[in-house]
Structure 1
């Protein structure tokens, strides 16, 4: 499932990042890596998502979030 499929309050483990080297580097620099755990703080179906990872809030665009595969916990 994609990160964009998660609803507010749901938690997940990141399985993989789909994209080129620049995309993967940018996402990892934001703190989102494979095997990390996240919680969705805001996903209203449009615009960016706000997620929490290791105590940090991260704002990520919907297009980028759609390229992150997660496993819902």
Structure 2
């Protein structure tokens, strides 16, 4: 399921990132990569997705969030 569709309050594991190397590297530098568990803090339709990964909170744009695949726990 794309990260952009996961409801607020859910936790899951990143299973894939459908992007080029540039976006993949940028996400990895933020601690967002395959196998990482993340929590969705806020996911509204018109704003970036707010997540927590490895104790860090960050906002991910909706376009980028649509490229991140995850499995919900």
Instruction: State TM-score, norm by structure 1.
Output: 0.95
User: Structure 2: how far apart are the matches of 1:44 and 1:22?
Assistant: 26
State the distance in 1 between where 2:55 and 2:26 align.
19
- The gaps in structure 2 that reach 5 residues or longer are none
Structure 1 stretches of 4+ moved >2 Å: none
Paired positions, count? 73
Q: How does 1:3-14 map to 2 (within 5 A)?
A: 3-14=3-14
Cα separation, 1, equivalents of 2:46 and 2:72: 20
Q: Secondary structure at the match of 1:44?
A: coil
Q: Give the RMSD, CA atoms, in angstroms.
A: 0.7
User: TM-score normalized by structure 2?
Assistant: 0.95
